[in-house]
Structure 1
C-alpha cells in the first residue's frame, strides 16, 4: 500500500520540487487539495488528517498553524520552514550530522528540515568543534553565495522580471534567520559572524568558513576530522581541494542531493578556508526533505534522489 503524503504549500519553489521528486513514485500517493481551497483551513485539516506524512512548505507562522491542525491526527510532519529548527520537540533533519541522528529521524513524528546555509555551515563546523579545532565560544566567520531561488517566490520574481539585477550582500546586521540553528546544531556557545550574498544566477550555493592560524598541520587535521565524520555517507563527501581550485563553482552540484566539503589554505600564513557546495534547492531544501521522508517511511534513503 502506498504511503499518503500531503505537501502543504506545493505551489512554492520548495513544494514544487518535492512534488517533482515524489509524483513518479509508486510507493507514494499524494494527497491534494483543490486549487481554490488551498487557503481553506478545513480543506487543509482534511488533507492533514488523511496523510501519513505532511511536508510543510510554508512561511513560519503558517507552518506553526499547520502543525497545530495536524496534532489531533498523529500525522508525521516534515517542516521546511525555520519555525521549528531549534525546537527540542522536533528532530533536526540532517541525517549525516551525527551518528545517532538518522536513528532519531527514523522514529520521529516531527522533523525540522535544515536550511541551505545552515546545512553547509553545520557540516563544516560541528566535526571541527568535536575535534577541538574550533573553540565553541569563538567560532570562525562564515560567508557564501547562493542563487536567487534561495530567497523564495518574491526574490525569484524580482530577478526574473528584471526588477533586481546583479549580486548583493545581505544579513550584514547579523540577524540572519539561520544563525540560531547554526549555533545550536554546530555545538557553538555563541553565534558566528555570517555574511551571505545572492548571485545573479538561479540555483547553487557555496559557503566558506574562514580560519586563521590553522597551518598545514591544522588543515590536515581538519580534513581528517571531516572525512571521519562523513565516512560512508552517500550524499556528503570530502573532496580533494584541487577539485575546487582555482575557482569554486556554486552551481557545480545543481540537480543533485550531494554536499561536498573541501579544505584549502596557505601553509605559510596559516590561513585556511573550508568550503561547502550544494544545490540550495536539492540537499539544501527539497532533496533533503525527500531524504528525510524516506527515512521516516523506512525505504531506501536515496529513493527519488
Structure 2
C-alpha cells in the first residue's frame, strides 16, 4: 500500500527540492494539482483531505489556512513554514534533538519542520545542555552565514535577477528579534534567548552556524575533549549527523559554507584552543537540505514507518 503525499506549495524552492527527493519512490504516491487549479480552494481542500501526509511549503498565513482546510482526523501534516514552530500541539521535527524525539515524531499527527538556523544551533547546544556542560541560564551567542536561497524566490531574484548587484556578505536581524529565536530558546533547554547574529553570503546554498564558548568561564571549566565527547555520544548512531574527530578539526585551517554540498547531511566540528580554554562549535549544513527539504523528507519517512534515510542525499 502506498502512502499518498500532497506538497502544498510544490512550485516553491523547498517544495521543488522535496519533490526531487520523493521522485521514483514506489512506496509513495504524489497527489498533484493542475497548475490552473493550484490556487483554487476546492481543489486544494480535496488534495489536502485525500492525502495521508501533507507537506506545507507555504508562507505562514497560507500554512495556517491549509491546516484549517483539513477536516478529517487522519491526514498528517509536516509544516515547513514558521507558523507552528512553537505552537502547542505540534511536535518539533528534529529527530536528533534528544533521546526519544524520533519516537515522538513517529506517533505525531502535526509536525513542524525546524528552521535551518535552529537546526545547526540546536545540534550544537542541546546535547551540551542535556549533559550539564552549558547551564540553562548561560548567555549563548550564535552566528554564521547562509546561502541566499534561504530567503526564497524574492531573495534569489535579488541576487540573480537582471541588474542585480548583491553584496558578498551582509548581516541582518539587527533588531535582535529574528523569527528563529523563539524555537532556539524553546528547544535548546536554555532559559535565556541566545544572542543571534545571522548573515547572508553570496552563495546559492549552504550554511555555517557557529556557537563560541569560553570553557573556563563555564561551571566546572570543561575541557575541549569533554565538549567533543558529549556531541559524539549524542550522535553516535545517527546516519545523518556526524561529529568530526578532534584531530580532523585541529588539522583544518578553514571551513567552507558549501562543506556538505547539496546533501542532507549535518556535519559538526569542535575547534578548540586548549591554551585559552576557548572553542568554536560549528555546524555545516545545506540550508535547502537538512535545513529544509531533507528534514521534511526525513520526517515523512519517520511518520510513514519507512527507512529514515530513504530518498535523502547522503
TM-score higher than 0.5? yes
Cα deviation code 1:136-181 (max 9, x no counterpart) = 2223211001110111110011001125332100112111111100
Corresponding residue number in structure 2 for 1:235: 240
CA–CA separation in structure 1 for the residues paired with 2:207 and 2:124: 14
Gaps of 5+ in 1: none
2:247 corresponds to 1:247 = no
SS of 2:70 mapped into structure 1: helix
Aligned-pair distance for 1:262? 1.2
Q: CA distance change for structure 1 residues 141 and 207 in 2, over 3 Å: closer, same or farther?
A: same
CA–CA separation in structure 1 for the residues paired with 2:246 and 2:303: 34
Corresponding residue number in structure 1 for 2:156: 156
**Contact 2:266–2:284 (CA under 8 A) maintained in structure 1:** yes
Corresponding residue number in structure 2 for 1:21: 21
**Contact 2:145–2:201 (CA under 8 A) maintained in structure 1:** yes
CA–CA separation in structure 1 for the residues paired with 2:175 and 2:282: 23
Under a length normalisation based on structure 2, what TM-score does the superposition of the two structures give? 0.94
CA–CA separation in structure 2 for the residues paired with 1:160 and 1:32: 29
Aligned-pair distance for 1:240? 2.4
CA–CA separation in structure 2 for the residues paired with 1:49 and 1:2: 16
Corresponding residue number in structure 2 for 1:89: 89
Cα deviation code 1:89-115 (max 9, x no counterpart) = 011000111111111111111100001
CA–CA separation in structure 2 for the residues paired with 1:218 and 1:150: 35
CA–CA separation in structure 2 for the residues paired with 1:60 and 1:200: 26
Corresponding residue number in structure 2 for 1:201: 203
Aligned-pair distance for 1:70? 1.3
**Contact 2:124–2:283 (CA under 8 A) maintained in structure 1:** yes
Task: Specify which of 291, 311, 314 is matched with residue 304 of structure 1.
Answer: 311
Q: CA distance change for structure 1 residues 130 and 209 in 2, over 3 Å: closer, same or farther?
A: same
Corresponding residue number in structure 2 for 1:119: 119
Cα deviation code 1:225-262 (max 9, x no counterpart) = 11111111100111124545210111011222111111
Aligned-pair distance for 1:117? 0.4
Q: What RMSD, in angstroms, separates the aligned Cα atoms of the two structures?
A: 1.4
Corresponding residue number in structure 2 for 1:53: 53
CA–CA separation in structure 1 for the residues paired with 2:106 and 2:305: 7
Aligned-pair distance for 1:72? 2.9
Under a length normalisation based on structure 1, what TM-score does the superposition of the two structures give? 0.96
SS of 1:126 mapped into structure 2: helix
Corresponding residue number in structure 2 for 1:257: 264
SS of 1:289 mapped into structure 2: helix
Q: CA distance change for structure 1 residues 63 and 14 in 2, over 3 Å: closer, same or farther?
A: same
Aligned-pair distance for 1:263? 0.9
Cα deviation code 1:281-301 (max 9, x no counterpart) = 111100010000000000111
Corresponding residue number in structure 2 for 1:267: 274
CA–CA separation in structure 2 for the residues paired with 1:23 and 1:130: 38
Corresponding residue number in structure 2 for 1:177: 179
**Contact 1:254–1:282 (CA under 8 A) maintained in structure 2:** no
Deviates more, 1:197-206 or 1:261-270: 261-270
> What is the aligned length?
305
CA–CA separation in structure 2 for the residues paired with 1:214 and 1:264: 15
